[in-house]
Amino acid sequence: MEAAVSQVNARIDAELKEAGDAALAKAGLTPTKAIRGLWARFARLADCPEEIRELVSGRGDELPSEARAERDRKLALVREGSQIVAQSLASRGVDAPEMIEEIPYEELRELVLLERLSERGQDA
């Protein structure tokens, strides 16, 4: 059964649209995919209207330097963690998936657990 689809129309500055379309294309996205993603994010934040306002206004980008430094530290740890997982998989002869940094934690964890089971001969 096909889901009902709605159309969204918006008026934006022509130069902004051109720049946004170029940025989306560079990221491999279409405006439709970007809007679907944005609306999905809004739906997840339905109980957090202030977060939606910050997201739309861009105020979240204006973090104090201390908060920005903490965010950057956490992002560095995430990248380091994905590199550790990739190195661990490689040391066991398992090819790490491309773009491992973008794989959700739960999926990475499952890959590692399945590899451990396989090493013990307990894979399904």
Q: At what angle do helices 14-26 and 31-44 cross, to 10 degrees?
A: 90
d(Cα 9, Cα 16) in Å, to the nearest integer?
A: 15
Domain spans of the chain, in order of start: 14-61, 65-119
Q: What confidence score (pLDDT) does residue 121 get? A: 80
DSSP string, 40-99: HHHHHTTT-HHHHHHHHHTGGGS--HHHHHHHHHHHHHHHHHHHHHHHHHHHTTPPPPTT
Q: Classify burial at 80, counting beta carbons within 10 Å of its beta carbon; exposed 0-12, middle 13-18, buried 19 or more.
A: exposed
Q: What confidence score (pLDDT) does residue 11 get? A: 92
Could you state, in chain order, the average pLDDT of each consecutive group of 10 residues for the chain (124 residues)? 82 92 91 91 87 78 73 82 80 73 72 81 70
**Contact at 8 Å (CB) between 89 and 99?**
no
